[in-house]
Amino acid sequence: MAKRVLTTESGAPVADNQNSATAGVGGPILLQDQHLLEKLARFNRERIPERVVHARGSGAYGYFEVTDDVTGFTRADFLSEVGKRTETFIRFSTVADSLGGADAVRDPRGFALKFYTDEGNYDLVGNNTPVFFIKDPIKFPDFIHSQKRDPFTGKQEPDNVWDFWAHAPEATHQITWLMGDRGIPASYRHMNGYGSHTYQWTNAAGEAFFVKYHFKTNQGVRSLSADQAAELVGKDANSHQTDLLQAIERGVNPSWTLHVQVMPAADAADYRFNPFDLTKVWPHSDYPLQRVGRLVLDRNPDNVFAEVEQAAFSPNNFVPGIGPSPDKMLQGRLFAYADAHRYRLGVNHTQLPVNAPRTAVVDNYGRDGVHATRNGSRHDKNYEPNSYAGPAQTDAALAAPLAVHGWTGTHEAPAHTKDDDFFQAGELFRLMSEDEKGRLVANIAGGLSQVTRDDVIEKNLAHFHAADADYGKRVEEAVRALRED
């Protein structure tokens, strides 16, 4: 086997990688030592801006296989026939902590999935919870600021966390999820994934449906108590990364079964609550789960930076037969996700291998910018329309049009008969066993009791009372007991 030769970035062989060039033995280093300067300059630039949210993550490749016929609901090609497989890449993540944070913490988990379809990449961004804390994207920066490190203390502050929630009653449902038994997954393999948002499917006849995605783990749901998580963090802060990596390396390939809830578009206007409200779930009794296929992870990335840190998921990456809904949080993310990647990775981040389509041909008029690798030839024009047989539009919309009406302005969401912020949180509480309720109350009280302002505590307690009288009573008593100690 031929010996590999170390080279500079320009390909020249390196004579000495152990000693810098100096002016004589023991003399000062020379500015002409190109290899030294190049190494130091590259080292200074090894890090890119970390994600503001979902910074700490793990990823894996796999495939999605269709197991059931859904062509009555969507004309998406990758879902067009039973048995069809599509390559995928998934990124799991925590939300609030930084890149160096621990895995086994009480936090929602990101569940972002890229389908490398023949019609282009389809990105589905979601979480391991079917709901979220807020329903309007204008609140998102403020929400994240309240959950991240305080500008003065440099650490997460219970006063900030609970003060925001005190002013966001719609967060009560997600808080009940987060503080319950599923708030700390045992691993990425042992949690469900949800599209969370409402999306639109359109079939070949042009009929529109609204859908919600549910990825049910085939490994079974397993979670950690607060004490178990604290012990695990002390042993291995990278526990979820370790588990996913080692499972796939051993050939124990994790899988999930995808189901969808399907709502005919005509049902949305008169449904008893706003079906596009991200803080609510659709009861399965109204719209049962319908099986679609199976997601299997079978290959680890070769390089975490290149394939996990640089992976970019944008919910505006749709394919024919799938589109957005009036979900306001989704509408905000259609812009925000792609813009975050343009900032972190550059305008040509879609040309990076992990983000580039596998089989679909990219042919457009985008040119130049940092790291442009697909700029066309001398015969390709960079404008349209043109007389040189350049790519042209299809005139076929990806999804069905949505009817809009009314006056422009900053409106609250339209009112439905059951549009309140608390009833689903109460329903979730009442579904829990006594042991589950006890752990939920203890987790909430542990954080809320650390808040220094009585008015903030009272506002939060009012939310739990509104969800369920027993729920509020238990939390109030637990908080009082902890504050009196």
Annotated active-site positions, please? 54, 127
In angstroms, what CA-CA distances link 452 with 151, 176, 178, 457?
A: 18, 22, 22, 8
What's the rounded Cα separation, in Å, for the pair 347 and 372? 8
**How far apart, in whole angstroms, are the C-alpha atoms of residue 305 and residue 421?**
40
CA angle 104, 107, 111 (to 5 degrees): 90
Q: Which residues contact 29 (CB under 8 A, 6 or more apart)?
A: 20, 21, 22, 36
Burial of 9 (0-12, 13-18, 19+ CB in 10 A): exposed
In whole angstroms, give the CA distance from residue 366 to residue 374: 9
The most distant pair of C-alpha atoms in the chain lies apart, rounded to whole Å, by 85
CA 476 to CA 366: how far, in whole Å? 58
Place of tokens 């689903």: 424
Q: Which residue in 213, 193, 316, 328 sits closest to 274, CA to CA?
A: 328
Neighbours of 242 (CB within 10 A): 14
Which residues, including other chains, have CB under 8 Å from residue 311's CB and lie 6 or more apart? 59, 89, 91, 112, 114, 354, 355
Question: Closest by alpha carbon to 89, among 109, 114, 54, 123?
Answer: 114
Pick the closest to residue 116 from 315, 258, 317, 253 (CA basis).
317
Assign 429 to helix, strand or coil: helix
Following DSSP, what letter does each residue of 211-226 receive, concatenated?
Answer: EEEEEEETT---B--H
Which tokens in the block code for residue 385?
């329309």
Neighbours of 135 (CB within 10 A): 21
Structure tokens at 439: 């752990």
Return the SS3 of 60: strand
How many angstroms separate the CA atoms of 365 and 379, rounded? 13
